[in-house]
Structure 1
Amino acid sequence: MNGEVFFSGWDVVKDRSKTLSADQEPEAGRGYTMYHGTHLANAKKIITNGFERSKDGLLGPGIYVSRNIKKAQCYPLKTDKNEKVVFKLKVRVGKVKKIDSDNHAFQKSWHQNGYDCAWVPPHSNISSIKSGREEDCVWDPKRIKVVDVACCVDQAKRHELRRLIRGDGSKNKHKEASSKSECDICHHDASEGPHDIQNCWHCGKNICPFQDKHLCRN
């Protein structure tokens, strides 16, 4: 019949209006945008080698991050804003434990009890968080990827750090480690297990169920 259109494949439509609000509990296994404030002197080392777990803190050892960029901008405390940088991150939260009160049974032992991340919701009953802003603590540095510089007063330093994040002109170890965990077909994170690569039922091309788009071109 004239005018028939034959189509095989798919195109993922993402609803970008649905973002995780500060009071929504992160879902296990998902990746979220978060922020981390640090001293400008530490920025290159973090980009190149990844984060180092703190020895202690409100939620015990780990890497402290937040979905609230205003909270990240406060750190490091008692540091001039010209010496600060805030990284934009992608964080794979894994299994999450909510800590919402003082002296919580798992406040500093969440990782020993099988959790990958601890989450303090905004306006919790934890007295030491005066701002009421949410906070997260991630155990494994490999769950965190630096994707951009969100804040840096020194524009020249910001451009330099962004080039380092992209890997321009250098071998970025953190970037290399991340690229090895990417699926060759969909280019999404495959660090938690290989993706099931199959042949398309119509054109025979290798496809991955996680790729955003596939169109048969026969």
Structure 2
Amino acid sequence: MRCKSLDFIFDYFQQIPTMELEEITFSGWTAIEEKNLHAGEKPKDEKVYTMYHGTFLKYVQHIITSGFQRSRDGMLGSGVYVSRNIDKAKCYPLNADKKEAVVLKLKVRVGKVKKIDIDNHPLQKSWHQNGYDSCWVPPNCGFTAIKSGREEDCVWDPARIVVVDVACCLDDKTRWDLRKQIRGMNNHGAKDGCSQCHQNTSNTGSHPIQSCWTCTKQICPFQKKHVCNK
């Protein structure tokens, strides 16, 4: 037995003329990165953040050309140790002569983030094995191994980290030379770089280059920006 109200609704929609859908022309994009959060706010999953890493000058060129190497172990286990707090990065390497130390400015795709905010956290060194890409120690959380109270992050996959600048280096000429090298890597790609977006593909594999469906220009889906000229 059919409800009369349902019959009415059925008859009403039958009387509505079929709508013609207008064609939508897609003509480019601009990728928006997540704004920097205060160091006390948890990094949001799958976002990109500015972070810093302090290291010896003798290691910097290798980092720029070949990327970071994951540490075998550490307070948070294996990974690359970074921080959104530049003052934290300036403390490293520990006990190093400042003339031999450099702080690199980075862009980090954090992926899935685990907060580690207590001593002897059950996932303190096994967060990656439990499905996380990065871990984060909040500032002033009482984590006794971090005596400064400043935030710390650990990233499992070095491919998630891109060097974008030299934040601190005492020697002006060295800083200028390193910045020139970084710009060359980022603008023209590494040896195994993508021809369109210029990202290093040695760790990720080649990007799927294709023709734009509007202007037919060669594009890569990982480009930060594409605007059709047509």
For the aligned pair, the TM-score class normalised by the smaller chain equals 0.7 to 0.9
Cα displacement (A) at 1:212? 4.2
- Residue 108, structure 1, aligned to residue 125, structure 2: yes
5 Å-filtered alignment, 1:1-218, equals 18-167=35-184, 175-177=190-192, 179-180=193-194, 184=196, 199-200=213-214, 212=225, 214=227, 217=230
TM-score by length of structure 2 reads 0.73
Rounded to whole Å, the distance in 2 between the matches of 1:15 and 1:143 is 14
Rounded to whole Å, the distance in 2 between the matches of 1:215 and 1:156 is 40
Rounded to whole Å, the distance in 1 between the matches of 2:164 and 2:129 is 29
Cα displacement (A) at 1:189? 9.4
Instruction: Give the aligned length.
Output: 200
Rounded to whole Å, the distance in 2 between the matches of 1:197 and 1:120 is 44
SS of 1:46's partner is helix
Deviations 1:164-207 (A, max 9, x none): 22238xxx9x8344x32x8x3x778995985997523xx67777
Cα displacement (A) at 1:115? 1.0
Rounded to whole Å, the distance in 1 between the matches of 2:211 and 2:216 is 12
Which of the two has higher C-alpha Rg? 2
Q: In the superposition, relative to structure 1, how do residues 189 and 80 fare at CA in structure 2: closer, same or farther (>3 Å)? A: closer
Q: In the superposition, relative to structure 1, how do residues 196 and 9 fare at CA in structure 2: closer, same or farther (>3 Å)? A: same
Which letter maps to 1:137? C
Instruction: Between 190-199 and 107-116, report the one with greater CA deviation.
Output: 190-199
What is the percent sequence identity of the aligned residues? 53
Cα displacement (A) at 1:155? 1.0
Instruction: Between 125-134 and 84-93, report the one with greater CA deviation.
Output: 125-134
Contact 2:36 2:50 in 1 (8 A): no
Stretches (4+) displaced over 4 A: 8-16, 186-198, 203-213
* RMSD of aligned residue pairs (Cα, Å): 3.3
For structure 1, which runs of at least 5 residues remain unmatched after alignment?
Answer: 1-7
For structure 2, which runs of at least 5 residues remain unmatched after alignment?
Answer: 1-25
Contact 1:92 1:144 in 2 (8 A): yes
